[in-house]
Amino acid sequence: MILYEFICRKCNNIFEELVKSESEDIACPQCGSHEVERVLSAVKGRSDASAGGSRAGSGCAPSSGFS
């Protein structure tokens, strides 16, 4: 499952939804419309940052032998 961000075309509500498959029908939680559009960039970038942890772990990363 992937957490995607959607924007509703009817009320412009932006919401996040866990999607199990590409064909899943997503409805806006605010107005119930199915005319939603997937926003690709935002959620993906945020999860990458937390997974990498480069900013917090750079000091004590056990990669000294690599260089």
Q: Could you list the residues that contact Zn ion (CB under 5 A)?
A: 8, 10-11, 13, 28, 30-31, 33
The least CB distance from residue 44 to Zn ion, in Å, is 22
Q: How far is CA 26 from CA 4, 8, 51, 63, in A?
A: 10, 10, 26, 43
What token pair was written down for 16?
Answer: 């996040």
- Judged by CB, which is closer to Zn ion: 11, or 42? 11
Query: Which is nearest to 54 in space by CA: 41, 63, 65?
Result: 63
Which of 10/47 has CB closer to Zn ion?
A: 10
Looking at the Cβ atoms of 30 and 54, the one nearer to Zn ion is: 30
